[in-house]
Every structure is written in structure tokens, then in C-alpha cells.
A and B are shown apart, each in its own frame.
Chain A
Amino acid sequence: NATPRRQLEKCPRSLLVCEKSNFLNEKSRHDIHVSKHNFNYKISVLIPECGILPANISSVIHSFSPYYLVRDLPVYQLLEETFLEPLVKKGNFYALSYNTKIDEDNAIALLSSGQLILSLDKDTYEQLGLEGRPSLYNHKKAMRFVVTLDLTDKSLTPGTKRYQRVLSSLKDRLPLRYDFLFTKYNTGSDEDQTLNKLLSQYSYEEHKPAFSQHTLKNMPCPTLYPSDIQGKTLSCDPHHFLEWLGAVNLDISCENAADSFLSTYVCPEPQSSVSQALLCTVTGFISPENVFVLLQELRQYFDEPKFTPWISLTVHGFMDSPVSWGATEHGFLKGGENLYNFVCFKNQDYWLHMATGAQDGCPP
């Protein structure tokens, strides 16, 4: 039993996974890590020694798929036959309940793999009557349950007994309805038609992800060598690097005196000064495919000689998503962070940092 003082000093658990590899390496898993992180809220690109966003990168960002906010959608709709075949089973379609807090409310997610995840409070779970399991992050009593339905599985083909039972639970027994965020990659006319037909039955808005950019001037910048991801000799260490990235994104000054009253934060060592850096962000409901296309484009930044030896791409997940990577359960204890960051180097080496909080499985 922790003493009272010990209890005052405890903190929720956090995980940081750091991987180093090369994009050209056959076994590199960068594509899998990106594709499995289904729900992305914000991406942030930092290019040191750059003042204007390169045209090819700008073009990719402005071609990101739109997303939709659909109001008051009944969950059973995601299982409807006309929706399943052309949209859900084809993949590249993502849905996440909007404005539902994973630590308080029910939350629903549809992954591009065709898995429908229902994260439910105890009452909803019992009333709905579908088979699930207790959340991995229950405290002492089981207050939250997770139902996972693989909509691509044979047993859930429309017409089967199981399919009927599930459909009737969601349609008649306990008709759950939420606002949803939708997005899909791959515009095929079939899929578009199906999606438009569905959307036309409900109140919805189409949105383009919001884009912004800033050119930062005269700032200290950590020195990073691809061979030293742990920051033991040549680079600064991962935690300090990510902290600095946070400072840049949040417009936090890195030039404080050690005895300053307000803040003692400084750029980590080793560092050098850059005359300018470009920071651009995109916010919304962004598909992993879009992130991957951007990553591919960022890799090509070094096709021509550049002053900077590295550039960075940060991807933030949704705090209230019921999953982080793949179907790994995600929760919100004191926070719901599930983010990853690529550092791309000139020689196609990369670092991948994946960070999660207390209620998360270890990133893959």
C-alpha cells in the first residue's frame, strides 16, 4: 500500500515507442503503422530551413479527402445491406461517433478493416444484448464493455441468423443514434453513389480539412543524427525532441534564462540555430491513406539537396476513439493521447515515435 506521500507523487502510465529504420528497407513497417492508425485528427509538418511550402507537398495536402459530419445517424445504418457491400467491405471507409467521450459516453467506430467497435457503458451494453467483453481499462467494477463486430465475417452476411439478431438489436431493441464523422479514400463512383444516398437521408455537412501554415524565424533546432535515435551521443534524446516539437507547435519560447521566474524551458542540446522553419498543420478527420500519400511526398523532399538534414511529420489521433492502432483498445484516463511522429532523414532513414497514455496497449 502506497504511503500518503507516495500516492501524491504517482502518475498515470505512459508509453513511448521509438523505431528506427529506412524507408527503402523491405521489412520497414512504416506503411503498416500509418494504415493501422485509423482515426487522425491533426497532422503537423515541420521543415527546418524552409520558408515556403513546396508545391508538391501543398498539392497533396489540398487534395486530402473531404470528411462529413452526419447528424443523428442510427448505428444500425452502418450494417445495412446497401451500405455494406460497396462501402464497408471495400475498405478505405472510416466512421467515428462525434462528440462522444470515451470515458463517459458510448462511442462507436468503424475501421477500414470492416470492424465495427461499440464501446458501451454498462447499462447500454446490457440493454443492447450483444456479445462483448469488459473493457481492459475498467477499474474495480466493470463499467465499460466493448462489442466488436467483424462486418466482413461470413457469420454477419446479410440473411444469416446472427446478422438478423445484431441488426434487430441495433434497430429495434436499443436504437442507438449519434452524430458521426465519415471519411473515405478512393473515389470510385459506386462508393460515392452509396455514400451520397446514405447522406441524403440525414442532416449532414461536408468539410475540407482545415489548413494553416507559419514561417518561424531564427529559432534553435535540435541536432539529430539518424544513427543515434536514443540521443546518447550525437542527437538529443527522444523525450526532449518531442517536447521541443510540442513547444514549436504551441508557439512556446525556447529561450529562457535558467533562473527565470516564469519558465526555464530551453531547446535541448545538441542544437543549432536555423534562420527559418515552416510549420504547417491540417485538422479534421483525416484518413490514413491521405497521411501515407503525404509521407511519401515528404520523403521526396530530399530528392534535391536541402539545408536541413531532417523534416518531421506529427499525426494526432482522436482522444475519444475506442481504438488506437488496429483494434487495440484505447481509453481516456487523464488524457487520450495516441500520436505518432516521423522524422525523415536525407538518406531515407527514418525515426518513428509512437506515444500513448495510460489506457492504451503498447503501439505495434
Chain B
Amino acid sequence: MEEPSKFERYVYKNDSVYHYMKISLVLENGNKYITDAQFKQLITCGLKDLYGEVGASFPFDLLKFDQNELTGILRVYNSGLVKLWSALTLLGSYQNEACAFRVMQVSPFLLALSGNSRELQFGDQLTL
């Protein structure tokens, strides 16, 4: 058993390398069948349209994808956050159908995406 340790405290400012985004795709004519790869490809195309091949050439991860809800969790380097967010905002169509991305939550901590109090709903309340 290790000896009980002494007190230590560290403060990290802006030390998170990534930002995380919880997003949802809304299609005008209701949900389509979209695979995780197509979902990611859609976002990549949106980035290229807005920033060109070079500007869009930063990686991002689709950490999780829910095919039923068309929601996803993205991970992106901090330097790519603004570009990714703007591309998501401006993306307007998928396979000739009007669509929109909703950014539900953004945080430098992935853990924070698992506890969004704005999701606390009751009965017939329409929140969010």
C-alpha cells in the first residue's frame, strides 16, 4: 500500500488540446438512412466548400454516431473549432434535400457532454 501523499494542486489553463461538439442533423423531409461514414463525409464536404481543400485539411473524429437520431459527437483540435462550427452552421443540403445541423453542445471537456442540464425536461414541457 502506498504512503498517504502530500497535498498538490495544479491549475491548467486552456490545456485541453481538443474541443468536442454534440451535433444533430435535421432533414427537411424527415430522417433518411445515413451511415456514419456518409455523415462524416457530409461534414468534410461542407468544410471543403467553405474553406477549400487546404483550409479544410485538418482532421476531426466522429467519436459517436446515432443512426436513429442522426446525432453525433465530434472531436476537433482547438485550431479547427471555429472552421468546423461555421461549416456546420452553413451546411444547407444533403443529396439535394434541405438540411441543417444543430450544435447542441460544445466543450473542451468530453466529460461535460455527458451532463447537459439543458436536457432536464418534465412531462409536457418543450425545452431546449
Contact = CB atoms under 8 A, between A and B. Distances in A.
A28 B19 CA distance: 32
A246 B13 contact: no
A347 B1 contact: yes
A11 B106 CA distance: 11
A314 B111 contact: yes
B109 A319 contact: no
Contacts of B49: none
A44 interface: yes
Contacts of B11: 15-18, 362
A118 B36 CA distance: 44
Contact of A251 (B37, B64, B123): B64
B33 interface: no
A337 interface: yes
17 contacts: A8-B82, A9-B78, A11-B78, A11-B82, A14-B14, A19-B7, A27-B7, A242-B110, A249-B114, A250-B63, A250-B114, A314-B111, A316-B112, A316-B114, A318-B117, A337-B112, A339-B109
Interface stretch (A125-133, A146-154, A223-231): A223-231
Contacts of B19: 11
Interface string B43-74: 00000000000000001011111000000010
Given A20-B5, A335-B107, A246 B127 contact: no
A279 to B, nearest CB: 10
A236 interface: no
B97 interface: no
B81 to A, nearest CB: 6
Given A13-B13, A250-B64, A262-B61, A337 B107 contact: yes
B12 A18 contact: yes
A56 interface: no
A357 B116 CA distance: 14
Contact of B117 (A7, A205, A249, A320): A320
Which of B2, B36, B115 has the most CB atoms of chain A within a 10 A radius of its CB? B115
Given A27-B7, A251-B64, A262-B40, A42 B110 contact: no
A342 B7 CA distance: 15
B126 to A, nearest CB: 10
Residue from the set B5, B79, B106, B113 with the largest chain A CB neighbour count within 10 Å: B5
Given A242-B109, A263-B62, 7 more contacts: A226-B2, A239-B16, A243-B111, A247-B110, A265-B61, A314-B111, A337-B112
Interface in A1-59: 7-22, 24-25, 27-28, 41-42, 44
Contact of A339 (B5, B14, B64, B115): B115
**B6, B63, B78, B81 interface centre (most CB from chain A within 10 Å):** B63
Given A242-B109, A339-B115, A19 B9 contact: yes
A245 interface: yes
Nearest to A17: B11
Given A239-B12, A252-B64, A347-B4, A41 B82 contact: no
Contacts of B4: 22, 24-25, 347-349
B32 interface: no
A238 interface: yes
A198 B26 CA distance: 43
Contacts of A341: 111
A306 interface: no
B40 to A, nearest CB: 6
Interface in B17-51: 17-20, 36-37, 40
A90 interface: no
B117 A316 contact: yes
Among A20, A28, A337, residue most surrounded by chain B Cβ atoms (within 10 Å): A337
B110 A250 contact: yes
A98 B116 CA distance: 14
A357 B125 contact: no
Contacts of A339: 109, 111-112, 115
